[in-house]
Structure 1
Amino acid sequence: MIRRHFPTGTLQSAVALLLLLLSPVTRSVRAAEVNVSDRTALVKALQQATPGTTIRIAPGTYRGGLDATGLKGEKDKPIVIAGADPKQPPVLEGGNGGIHLSGCSHVEIRDLHITGATGNGVNIDDGGDRNTPSRGIVLRRLTVTNIGPEGNRDGIKMSGVDGFTIDGCHVERWGSGGSAIDFVGCHEGVVENCVFTHDAGAAAQGSGVQNKGGSRGITIRRCRFTNAGSRAVNAGGSTGLEFMRPENPGFEAKDITVEDCYFTGSAAPVAFVGVDGAVFQRNTIYRPTRWVLRILQENQNPGYAACRNGVFRENLIVFHASDLSTAANVGGSTEPQSFRFEKNAWYCVDSPTRTQSLVRLPVAEVGGVYGTDPMLKDPAAGDLAKGKESSLKEYGVSEK
């Protein structure tokens, strides 16, 4: 019999390899990481991305107008498009749109600066098929500036996106009739820790964050709005039936929550427009230029809910009588009696003793406080935090 002798090390390696092949995989395979430093390489990386791919973009300026269709990550293996150095975010400049993703899922975009697009800065949609929404989208630490500047041009636009997160983004100066963020038929998402800033009067027909077209289950929290359009938050809106997602939802928006946000300026910090249920709570409002809130119905299609079931509570509102037309602007075809006003603190800077008489609401408020100075630290400089001596700590943004 011929006996074959193998070196001990070789035999051990073979056994280890065999065991690895026969046993369940217990270690994770390193996901592909693609480093790019020019636009051609970036476009190629987008075309070839698979679940788990991270595209790292080197600092520098790249021409905007990027388009990608069908990017499909997975819940535990998203496709990531990121600046290689968060301290030096790459700039996508110009183009009709900064970056447009269509029919995508589980994609994260972070640490980029999008500027100068003539259309929308960031545009994510379902590819026109409202039965298959894009899902699992994360936008983190994006800066979006100087979009438009005229017309309905949005900093960030999402149409038919479910299960999204927008965190730590800064949007400054968008189209005169557009929004910092425009949601059309989007569901179950969060906008948090963001800043929305425009020049006073420059977006007179625009809004900060708009939720319409059948949008539902969106929470906006810990954000700052400064002169963010005529309506800083538009809870609802007016949408053509062909753009509704899903088809004929029966409302422009539903279950919208706005909490722990700071608002400076805007004709109305919040507008409830054809919304069926929204909560606006623990927000600090400083010097709205015409109203504190609006209750409107712009979608007159049969079968759509009249604006109703809004809750406005535990907010701190600081206003000037010389600015305000009325606290609440109520339009026709609405159900203002279904709204609730609870435990808000109101302060008229130029006439404190008249505060309560100036706050005319469509229904009686429960537990309101009127005419007490909240002792804001430095509102003229944008610091709306309450001073240590304030007796209104439980109203407005929680500062614990």
Structure 2
Amino acid sequence: MNPPLNQPLPQPAPVPAAPPLRVLVVDDDEHDFHIVSHLLGRNTFATYQLEWAPSYVAGLEALERGGHDVAILDYRLGMESGLELVRMAQASNRDLPVILLTGHDSAEIDLESTRAGAADYLCKNGLTTGQLERSIRYALRHRNTLNELRQSQSQFELFMHNVPCAVAICDAEGAPLFQNRLFEEHIRDFDGDLRRRESATPWILRHQERCWLVTTFPMSLGSDRQLQGLAAIDITERVRSEEERLRQAQLLDNIMRNLPVIVGRLDVSGRVIEARGRLEHCGIAAETISGAVFTDVFPQSREAVERARRSEEVSFTLRGQANEREWHADFYAVGSPGVGVIFLGRDVTERRWLEQRLLTVIDAEQQRIGADLHDGLGQKLTGLACLAAALRDRLMRSDSDSAEQARVIAALSNDATLESRALARGLCPVQLEQAGDCSPRCRS
């Protein structure tokens, strides 16, 4: 039966909010506690309910009382050390994740805190909300992982049947006495010998279009009966990925052989320890420079390679002669101190030749336009100015207004002549200066 029209529809029940995480902060500096409180107050991961223990004793009492989800302990607590509290927290409640805070980074304290059982170690200087929340999140996740591991230890038999690898126990003849689901589905019908090989090295079993990495090991029951354990991991996708990687590497090699580029790596001494590709016009090939010191082969690159060794990104151009023709190659290099330099070079000989050819064509076209402006348009404008000046002189006796207009025409024509000659000089200054400027200018 439908509800009356004037009756409101039932609303879905609100989703209950997650309870706040209970955080114990043990720090004898109230200012530091307020900093932690402020950082967690800008939370993005969860809401927090903080409890402050201002001393070592108060922190110990709070730990014994329990009820916290995570503890944040200061390394310096007066005359005491937060490491002792970490050890006590792990002894009394090993499920409680503990994060240790200190005023400065120290590899020694980091190692000690890890040994004591701390889930993480953070430096107060520059601490951000993201870092603190991430540490809490990882600590809680670590705690959950440990709990799951303890549960899995009590359920070992169930694990053996659900472990993501094929597991079996065989007798001396290779007949399986125990096998999990994966072994039964994929390996049981294998006709070959699965018994322990002479070498303990894992070997690859290819069966039913799948690949397994098989490890066998002896098992002793304290009797004359000899058993053998077998564990096989499905590496089909890994093998396929490796085969695909090899195909891609071969494709890359083929591409590098046909592209006008070369890539390589220098060791700390500047020697080429790896190179691929070739620059045909430059006569540079991977096989010719491998093993050689790069700066000995190309002295022009010495300064650039030294800068690349200092972690600078540098670009430089090499040039030389090959087959009675000048070649050009642009290189990019970057490295790091104590590691070496990676370089990439590309042949730009043809591009430089085309650029030079284009500049030659452009220069010739500029000269032509400049000559046309100077010898064609300039001369016509000069003639126009002269005609206008002559017309002005004839009209001065009979029509002064028309004479003034003719004078203006002559003046404008002279100005246009000057501008055309200036343009011509800008386009081909050398030729015009050699030829000289012999264009007459009519008096306006």
Tell me: higher relative CO, structure 1 or 2? Use CA pairs within 8 A at least 6 residues apart: 1
Same fold (TM over 0.5): no
TM-score (norm: length of structure 2)? 0.21
More strand by share: 1
More helix by share: 2
TM-score (norm: length of structure 1)? 0.23
